[in-house]
Amino acid sequence: MLKVFNTPFLNFIIASLVVVFVAKLLSLVAWWYLPKQGVELQSQEGIQPKYRRIVFNSMLEMQKVKKEEKKRKKSSGINITNMVLKGLYGNDKNGFAIVALRSKIKETSLIAVGESFSGYKLSSINLDSVVFTKNSKDYILELLKPKQQLQSGKRREQKVSYSEAVAAELAKPREVTRNDITYYAKNPRQIWKDISIREVKKKGKIYGFKIYKINSRSKFAKLGLRRGDIIIRANNVDLTSYKAAFDLYNHINEIDTMQLVILRDNEEKELVYEIH
Amino acid sequence: MVKSIGKFFFLIFLFLAMFLFFLPKENLYFFAEKELAKKGVVISKEEVKDKGFRFEMHHAHLSVSSIESAVVSDLSLSLYLFYNKLHIDSIYLASSLKSFLPLAIKEVDVIYSVLNPLAVEIETKGDFGKAKGDFSLVDKKLTIILQPSKLMRQKYRGTLRNFKKLKNGEYSYVKSF
């Protein structure tokens, strides 16, 4: 028995077991330092967006029809200094106001009566001002006027011309046929023949996709797109990644209205398409 | 003396083999996954299994820059010290890539063996045809020889333009890293 334990074979077996033990120990050390979980793709919101087009033009038409308006009451309250009223439509408890912050005067928002902006709730519409409510207090915001003071008789005229400007800003929806989309979906190669788009980066981050080339005879040109345009938003989704752009491409068959916000000559423009 | 040297090499081999066997391959995979994620490549929805000398992965969805690019049915990595093989079965590329490549790749084999220690061999076949190649570890150069299928010749001429046509009808692609 003693002889068996002293044999070189037993020593070899023990050495082998020690080696296996050391290998296991090292693998445990590796396990300790390695991550215990992998990476999963974070799914984001789909492309079918919260985008809702308000046909502002038709509302303005209604405005014109109502020539004989009742004289509206003017409420009393505190002036809001950090906000600007750029346009309004409606009377008293029905209507909308176009407002912006003084710091970001170009970023306008369309607020309906009952909705809030910057913590202020729009409570009523007057002839040339709106009333916001905050903490049970009323705040009046008057319509933005040009530097030259207009005579009171011209007020109404000014309001209408401004509204018309806003209406012009909201481009008329262009019609796109489903066949055109199917054609491009079936021939994606044709897309790259007709249009050349590349990402544009600011501080290393994509902020849009620039059109470098566009075939003037292509359907893209008919859509109102031009060389140099930077597409920054589509259906309320910021195009800040290739994923956003591909999501739009992959869901194109499910979309019936498309809104593109482009940067043209450093100005934001909105293009709206209705797909039939 | 020879016996002792033999025992020593056996113990070294045993250590390496056991280390490979015990190595937490799932966790190593998670580490690789995190490194890939830094480069915008994310593998998700996958099922991974550590099978000793083999690592398996099933139903992986591959995304590049958050764009779902491919679905891999089965992948197995066999580690046998002197012969290591990565085998991938059924890769389906995303439909958005259909203008560049036929979407189905039947299988891909990547082999590293001691018989050819300075290169990694690559072999693949699919709807695009058959391709063979290697990656030279010395020159860091990838060489692919493609035998395109009829479908590839007819519908993907644009992609084939990135390859150099050889006299025997095959196409070659060389890229240095």
Residue spans per domain, chain A: 56-169, 174-275
Q: B26 vs chain A: nearest CA distance in angstroms?
A: 8
B81 assigned to some structural domain: no
Please report, as a single letter, which amino acid is at residue A202. K
Interfacial A residues in 149-178 facing B (CB < 8 Å): none
The answer to whether B45 touches B60, Cβ cutoff 8 Å, is yes
Q: What is the pLDDT of residues A134-183, one digit of tens each?
A: 877 778 888 776 543 444 444 444 444 444 444 454 455 677 777 777 77
* A217 close contact with B: CB closer than 8 A: no
**Alpha carbons A12 and B2: distance in angstroms, whole number:** 15
What tokens does B144 get? 């692919």
Its ipTM equals 0.78
pLDDT at B125: 93
- Write down the pLDDT at residue A63: 52
Indicate whether B12 belongs to any domain.
Answer: no
Ramachandran quadrant class, A204 (left: phi over 0; alpha: psi -120 to 50; beta: rest): left
pLDDT < 70: residue spans in chain B? none
Asked if the C-beta of B4 comes within 8 angstroms of chain A's C-beta atoms, the answer is: no
Q: Measured between alpha carbons, how far is residue A249 from residues A209, B22, B107 in Å?
A: 14, 46, 29
Tokens of A182: 């199917």
Supply φ then ψ for residue A164, to 5 degrees.
-65, -35
In chain A, residues with a C-beta closer than 8 Å to the C-beta of B68 are 41
Q: What is the pLDDT of residues A67-112, one digit of tens each?
A: 444 444 444 444 567 788 878 777 777 778 888 887 777 777 878 8
| B63 with A242: Cβ contact below 8 A | no
Distance CA B43, CA A31 (A): 21
Residue A79 has which token pair?
């002036």
Which CA distances in Å does A270 have to A27, A49, A116, A197, B55?
59, 16, 24, 18, 52
Confidence check: pLDDT of A203 > 50: yes
3-state secondary structure of A201: strand
Interchain proximity B34–A39, CB inside 8 Å: yes
Helix/strand/coil for A198: strand
Is there a contact between B27 and A241 if contact means CB atoms under 8 Å apart? no
A14 touches chain B (CB under 8 A): no
Q: What is the pLDDT of residues A211-263, one digit of tens each?
A: 888 888 887 877 788 888 888 888 878 888 887 777 777 777 777 777 888 88
DSSP bridge pairs for A104 = A101
pLDDT interval class at A56 (50, 70, 90): low
Q: Chain A: nearest CA to B27, how far in angstroms? A: 6
pLDDT for the residue B131: 93
Out of A24, A40, A243, whose CB is closest to B65?
A243
Architecture of domain A56-169: Roll (2.30)
B160 neighbors B147 (Cβ within 8 angstroms): no
Q: Which CATH class is domain A174-275?
A: mainly beta
| HSE, side-chain direction, 13 A CA sphere, residue A107 | 7
The torsion angles phi and psi of B139, rounded to 5 degrees, stand at -85, -10
DSSP B100-157: TS-SEEEEEEEEEETTSTTEEEEEEEETTEEEEEEEETTTTEEEEEEEE-HHHHHH-H
At residue B4, what is the residue type?
S
Residue B15 lies in a domain: no
Q: In this structure, what token pair is assigned to residue A47?
A: 């492309």
The pLDDT of residue A73 is: 43
Q: Which domain does B141 fall in, by range?
A: 107-177
Q: Residue A24: which pLDDT band, with cuts at 50, 70 and 90?
A: very high
For residue B66, give the chain A residue with the closest CA: A243
Q: Is the dihedral of CA B16, B19, B21, B26 positive or negative?
A: negative
CA angle A119/A123/A129 to nearest 5° reads 100
A55 pLDDT above the threshold of 70: no
Say if B173 falls within a structural domain.
Answer: yes
Q: Chain B window 70-99: which residues touch A at a Cβ cutoff of 8 Å?
A: 95-96, 98-99
**How many CB pairs (< 8 A) connect A and B?**
89
Q: Do B96 and A250 touch (CB under 8 A)?
A: yes
Pick among A13, A40, A253 to test the B interface (most B CBs inside 10 A): A40
**B96 in a domain, yes or no?**
no
Pairing of strands B54-64, B67-79: antiparallel
- Which B residues, 99 through 128, put their C-beta within 8 Å of a C-beta on chain A? 99
Q: CA B106 → CA B47, B123, B125, distances in Å?
A: 20, 11, 6
Query: Which is it for strands A78-79 and A137-142: parallel, antiparallel or unpaired?
Result: parallel
Domains held by chain B: number: 1
**Would an 8 Å CB–CB cutoff place B21 in contact with chain A?**
yes
| Segment holding B165, helix H or strand E | strand B164-165
DSSP A67-92: -SPPPPP----EEPSSEEEEEEEEEB
Interface check for B44 against chain A (CB to CB < 8 A): the answer is: yes
From the list A122, A125, A129, the residue with the least C-alpha distance to A144 is: A129
Per-residue model confidence as pLDDT tens digits over B135-166: 999 989 999 999 999 888 888 887 888 888 88
Q: pTM score, two decimals? A: 0.57
DSSP letter assigned to residue B20 = H
Rounded Cα distance between B136 and B143, Å, is 8
